[in-house]
Amino acid sequence: MKSQPIDTYASELAEDVRRAVADGSASGYDRRAASLFSDFEDPDFLRRTAGDVKQHTLENLDTYLAQTEDRLKENGVEVHWAGDAEAACRAVLKIMRDNGATKVVKSKSMATEEIHLNDFLEREGIESLETDLGEFIVQIDHDHPSHIVKPIIHKNRQGIARSYEREGLGAYDDRPEVITARARKFLRKKYLEASVGLTGANFIVAESGRLVLVTNEGNSRFCLAGTDIHIAVVGIEKVIPRDRDLSLFLSLLGRSATGQQLTVYTEFISGPRAEGQPDGPRQMHVILLDNRRTEVLASNCRDILRCIRCGACLNVCPIYRQASGHAYRSVYPGPVGAVLSPLLAGEKFSELADLPKASSLCGACKEVCPVNIPIPDLLLRLRDKAKHEGIKSPGTPPMGGWAYLASQPTVWRASLSAGRLMNLMPLNLIPVPALRAWTKSRQLPEWRGGAFRKWMKTRKIGGKDS
């Protein structure tokens, strides 16, 4: 029997990639944690409050979406609704065709990754260029981002320098400042050639219709300074009720993502450019995207829609650090992806049903999540869903024998003393194929079965020692 797919990925990962991902996700952890824990007396209260604001919004999303649409329209924004990926892509294309536009510059957006917008536009003969440095490199390599915040965490400078050479961006030079400067030079021409700037949104405020975008590089600002039309593709779960919520969310997002009090550029966009402003879009369109978010909303895992895509849960996850983002075979990797991706897969749920199982439920993700999402609980609910739907994932150790033992007291007791044999058994020789695959990359702790029972028996009632 095969290993769990995520184990296969992890074991086939090239050593330099494994190192890059492990180091990259661990680095900055102290700074991120310190920026929350030394700046606030009770950071957990912040996380719980932010979580409640988003949960409240989701549970009243019908009201808030209607309000958002009204405000956007009042602000002079055209609002489009897209039920699925295809509809969203078509909406973008239609706006472009209506305006005779053929070139798009894009700032980083998970929603457009999700709907595979670049591939779609390319097939329609439209040049769609990523401008975030990491995403740009992913695009020229025909690769996929492997982290929500650090898309090329799996690449090293040598590889990037070779890609640049291949693409005619300059002779081999792997200094990060040269890599960055060459992208700067190449992309600034492109911003001015394109007529459409495409973005996502980190938040959209229902009471004001404000779109909030955060970047460190400033590429989204450039996308909205050089072009004539702004199109934003925004998941319907990005809504927050009021402007007053922004101070809290921005504070948490910057700190959780990169340990910054604020990201360098925080943009509040509520319409086309002001009168008298010579640069920037004269038209603004917002495409509100469902793409199965309403299914998630209807499920018992709706809490995952609170996610503000900070990437903190990826950085702390022991599985992510070992396996890298591509092991999750979907747009959203790591703990958030292990919940969200199978749900967004719809009828293909079974293909990703192994992801919720690839977790030791250590809880690190829940501890760092700025919106306090109970990720381990949600993973368990998805395991339950898979079980109820009779979905078997390759490589999951069979638990039937254990279930039998655990439900028969006498057999359980007998097996406890026999269990000591386990210490002497070479685990990789266990004649159960799935278990063998599962233990190949894992060490079991020494068997100490029965100790607890003995302790219980000899313990004095109300006594201090046993």
Among residue numbers 321 through 380, which ones bind ligand SF4 (CB under 6 A)?
336, 368-371, 373
Residues that contact ligand SF4, how many (by CB under 6 A)? 15
End-to-end CA distance of the chain: 45
Site residues for another protein, 242-271, by CB under 8 A, read 243-244, 246-252, 258, 260-271
Which one of another protein, ligand SF4, none is in contact with 311 (Cβ closer than 5 to 8 A by kind)?
ligand SF4
Q: Which is nearer to ligand SF4, 263 or 283 (CB)?
A: 263
Check: CB of residue 89 under 8 Å from CB of residue 115.
Answer: yes
Q: Which is nearer to another protein, 220 or 396 (CB)?
A: 220
53 contributes a contact to ligand SF4 by CB under 6 A: no
Distance CA 367, CA 353 (A): 24
Check: CB of residue 372 under 8 Å from CB of residue 366.
Answer: yes
DSSP for 77-135, written as a single string: -EEEEESSHHHHHHHHHHHHHHTT--EEEE---HHHHHTTHHHHHHHTT-EEEE-SHHH
Stretch that binds ligand SF4, among 19-27, 308-316, 341-349, 389-397 (CB under 6 A): 308-316
350 contributes a contact to another protein by CB under 8 A: no
Check residue 289 and report its DSSP letter: E
**Binding test (CB under 6 A) with ligand SF4, winner from 159, 226, 311, 397:** 311
How many CB atoms within 10 Å of residue 347? Answer: 6
Site residues for another protein, 382-411, by CB under 8 A, read none
Site residues for ligand SF4, 250-289, by CB under 6 A, read 256
Which one of ligand SF4, another protein, none is in contact with 280 (Cβ closer than 5 to 8 A by kind)?
another protein
**Binding test (CB under 6 A) with ligand SF4, winner from 58, 213, 240, 312:** 312
99 contributes a contact to another protein by CB under 8 A: no
319 contributes a contact to ligand SF4 by CB under 6 A: no
Site residues for ligand SF4, 141-180, by CB under 6 A, read 148
196 contributes a contact to ligand SF4 by CB under 6 A: no
Q: Is 380 exposed, middle or buried (0-12, 13-18, 19+ CB in 10 A)?
A: middle
Supply φ then ψ for residue 47, to 5 degrees.
Answer: -65, -40
**Binding test (CB under 8 A) with another protein, winner from 123, 168, 171, 274:** 274
Q: Which is nearer to another protein, 254 or 337 (CB)?
A: 254
300 contributes a contact to another protein by CB under 8 A: no
Residues that contact another protein, how many (by CB under 8 A)? 103
User: How near is the Cβ of 371 to ligand SF4 at its closest, in Å?
Assistant: 5
Cα–Cα distance list, 250 to 181, 244, 258, 458 (Å): 29, 11, 12, 55
Site residues for another protein, 34-53, by CB under 8 A, read 38-41, 45-46, 48-49, 52-53
User: How near is the Cβ of 169 to another protein at its closest, in Å?
Assistant: 14
Distance CA 373, CA 29 (A): 19
- Helix spans in 174-300 (H): 176-193, 219-226, 245-258, 293-298
Check: CB of residue 88 under 8 Å from CB of residue 234.
Answer: no
Distance CA 217, CA 185 (A): 14
**Binding test (CB under 6 A) with ligand SF4, winner from 236, 310, 352, 379:** 310
Check: CB of residue 311 under 8 Å from CB of residue 25.
Answer: no
Q: Which is nearer to another protein, 88 or 435 (CB)?
A: 88
What is the token pair recorded at 93? 């294309």
15 contributes a contact to another protein by CB under 8 A: no
Which one of another protein, ligand SF4, none is in contact with 150 (Cβ closer than 5 to 8 A by kind)?
another protein
Check residue 285 and report its DSSP letter: E
226 contributes a contact to another protein by CB under 8 A: yes
- Of 410, 411, 392, 388, the C-alpha closest to 401 is 411
Stretch that binds another protein, among 20-28, 331-339, 347-355, 429-437 (CB under 8 A): 20-28
8 contributes a contact to another protein by CB under 8 A: no
Polymer length of the chain? 466
Cα–Cα distance list, 44 to 32, 275, 366 (Å): 14, 44, 11
The residue with tokens 């359980």 is 412
- Judged by the rule CB under 6 A, the positions of this chain that interact with ligand SF4 are 148, 256, 307-313, 336, 368-371, 373
